[in-house]
Amino acid sequence: MEAHNGQTNEVRKKAFFRPKVLLGVLAALVVVAAVAGGVLFQASKKPSFCATCHIIEPYYNSWKGGDLLAAKHAEAGVDCLDCHHKSTVAKIGEGINYLTGNYENPLKERDFSMEECLSCHKDDFAEAVAATDFGESNPHDSHLGEIECHLCHKMHRQSEVYCAQCHDFSWYKDLDKSWKTELAGS
């Protein structure tokens, strides 16, 4: 029995290691991986895919509705991947971060550079400068010079007026609900 079984296993092993079979299995694996990857890649383009992760979910929710700037981006047809993980490398990196546990919950706030914001908002900036000339001050043209957008504008939480660290300007009270307005008059 023993000898017979051993022999069979050996034969099977040998069959498995035959180049043709091995190649066939590998090819099948590659196809499966490619299809799965493709499906995953397609699926990941949908914001709802991001929400399947419970850590990402609250950020997805702030995009899907509510008063925050993320929701305003959603209204304008801007999806998660339009800002986050634009490149395949970044996507893979995020996967690695997830697998290795290299993340914090809640997630660390990302600081997008002015260039990143302006890649869509290029023409809006000059308009913003003109629109926020409140007389007593202009947050887009102040003594601080050119400062990063994200110091005030937050996507997934309430925006904060950077000026409010030192100044009480009367225009704070006219800001919409995407802003922390309790700062005004404090």
| Positions that interact with other proteins (CB under 8 A) | 87, 89, 92-93, 96, 111, 136-137, 143-145, 147-148, 151, 162, 165-170
Residue 144: CB minimum distance to other proteins, A: 5
Q: Residue 5 or residue 100: which is nearer to other proteins going by CB?
A: 100
Residue 164: exposure state from Cβ atoms within 10 A (0-12, 13-18, ≥19) = buried
**CB of 15 vs other proteins, minimal distance in Å:** 36
Our CB check for other proteins shows the closer of 1 and 99 to be 99
Q: Positive or negative, the Cα torsion across 72, 109, 47, 60? A: negative
How far apart CA 167 and CA 164 sit, in angstroms, is 5
Q: Which is nearer to other proteins, 81 or 184 (CB)?
A: 184
Give the nearest distance from C-beta 99 to other proteins in angstroms: 12
Other residues' Cβ atoms within 10 Å of the Cβ of residue 161: 19
Buried b (16+ CB within 10 A) or exposed e, 117-135: beeeeeeeeeeeeeeeeee
Write down the least CB distance from residue 111 to other proteins, Å.
Answer: 8
In the complex with other proteins, the residue whose CB is nearer, 10 or 111, is: 111
